Amino acid sequence: MLRRVLGERGLFLFTFGLITLTLLGATAWVVTFVWQRVRVDNLLRVDNALSAIYVNYYNSADNYVSADSYLAMAAYQRDYVRPQNVRVLTGLDTQGVIGYMLNHISAGMGVNCTHCHTLANFAADMWDDPVGVANKRLAREHLLMVRDLNQEWIATLASLTDRRRPSGAQVTCATCHNGVPVPQSYPANQEGVPDDFRLPLGEDVVFSVEQQGILNVNARRDISLDTVQYNQNVMYHMNQSLGVGCTHCHNSRYFPSYEVPAKYYSLHMLQMSQFLVSNYSDALRGQQPSCNLCHQGAAIPPGAARSADVMPAALVAND
């Protein structure tokens, strides 16, 4: 029918035109699609600017900080170029302190400034909200805790073995808080181990490469089945917390040996957790640290800061 109207040549041109149009349309669609994707990617990159700070944690202070707070901080920064009452975050000007408050504290814990401050005066340690006052006091202790963890424990990872360098990631608020004000170190229901399982972190417990401690069970006659079971629970806890298998830390043909760097790191992390129990139990309101508190199923904790460069100098080791 078309052939009769258009003729042989006309039909050819018609079909040719149709195909060309379809192809052009498809090309235009692909170009638009790609262009939009790129644009969305760019927007996401702006949105997730915090990933420049964190290993694998995305959050923005804008989700929590109110317009009132933004106005108050701008006014405070204008009136006080230097902070009035900063005892841990020394060496920063007010702008630097506010940047830390936004990116590490509000975005790390998922809270507005008023969780710890009266907007009338960011320097105040006493005002008419007892909860806010208590939160600011506790936050200062957690600042000291972060400083101690980085300076005394994370910084010494590099000296444990020369077979591997640590990544340089640092502890910051988000490392434990992960966007919530009150993190839970042990979940109510633990997988694969009894729900009341806790790491052995008493002051008298020995963790040492040379000395046999509570977790050493091989080739020992003085060890009960319960102790062997307990060792297994600790190992399962480590597997799950770091999202790794046994060989991440062990030569599976001889478990007692120290060969794999991660085993040195893990022993050090057990000592670090013991340090937290001894020195910061009150600050943690009695919660005991677990490997999962920071690791959350990953070998490098997702809420860790990428490097000392994105941390205030007062909270990291300076060489």
Q: How far is the C-alpha of 55 from the C-alpha of 307, rounded, in Å?
A: 9
Q: How far is the C-alpha of 231 from the C-alpha of 210, rounded, in Å?
A: 18
Among 187, 192, 256, 297, binds ligand HEC (CB under 6 A): 256
Q: Answer yes or no whether residue 179 interacts with ligand HEC by CB under 6 A.
A: no
Q: Answer yes or no whether residue 34 interacts with ligand HEC by CB under 6 A.
A: no
Q: Which residues contact 112 (CB under 8 A, 6 or more apart)?
A: 64, 65, 66, 69, 106
Q: How far is the C-alpha of 201 from the C-alpha of 64, rounded, in Å?
A: 35
Q: How far is the CB of 190 from ligand HEC (least distance, A)?
A: 14
Among 54, 230, 265, 275, binds ligand HEC (CB under 6 A): 265
Residue 235, Cβ density class (10 Å: 0-12 exposed, 13-18 middle, ≥19 buried) = middle
Q: How far is the CB of 38 from ligand HEC (least distance, A)?
A: 32
Q: Answer yes or no whether residue 113 interacts with ligand HEC by CB under 6 A.
A: yes
Among 148, 250, 275, 302, binds ligand HEC (CB under 6 A): 250
Check if the beta carbon of residue 283 is closer than 8 Å to that of residue 145: yes
SS3 234: helix
Q: Answer yes or no whether residue 65 interacts with ligand HEC by CB under 6 A.
A: yes
Q: Tokens standing for 225? A: 């089945």
Burial 106-140 (b: 16+ CB within 10 A, else e): bbbbbbbbbbbbbbeebeeeeeeeeebbebbeebb
- Could you report how far apart the first and last alpha carbons of the chain are, in Å? 87
Q: How far is the C-alpha of 285 from the C-alpha of 138, rounded, in Å?
A: 10
Q: How far is the CB of 44 from ligand HEC (least distance, A)?
A: 23
Between 14 and 248, CB nearer to ligand HEC: 248
Stretch that binds ligand HEC, among 10-18, 29-37, 45-53, 250-258 (CB under 6 A): 250-258
Q: Answer yes or no whether residue 246 interacts with ligand HEC by CB under 6 A.
A: yes
Stretch that binds ligand HEC, among 21-29, 34-42, 45-53, 288-296 (CB under 6 A): 288-296
- Dump strand ranges (E) for 163-312: none
Binding mask 184-223 toward ligand HEC (x if CB under 6 A, else -) reads -x---------------------x-----x-xxxx-----
Stretch that binds ligand HEC, among 9-17, 23-31, 36-44, 300-308 (CB under 6 A): 300-308
Q: How far is the CB of 150 from ligand HEC (least distance, A)?
A: 8
Q: How far is the C-alpha of 72 from the C-alpha of 104, rounded, in Å?
A: 19
- At residue 80, φ and ψ (nearest 5 deg) are -130, 100
Region 131-170 residues binding ligand HEC, contact defined as CB under 6 A: 135-136, 138-140, 142-143, 146, 149, 154, 157, 166-169
Q: Answer yes or no whether residue 235 interacts with ligand HEC by CB under 6 A.
A: yes
Region 85-104 residues binding ligand HEC, contact defined as CB under 6 A: 85-89, 94, 97-98, 101-102
Q: Answer yes or no whether residue 279 interacts with ligand HEC by CB under 6 A.
A: no
Between 63 and 167, CB nearer to ligand HEC: 167
Element (H, E) at 116: none
Among 36, 84, 95, 159, binds ligand HEC (CB under 6 A): 84
Q: How far is the C-alpha of 231 from the C-alpha of 145, rounded, in Å?
A: 28
Size of the site for ligand HEC (CB under 6 A): 90
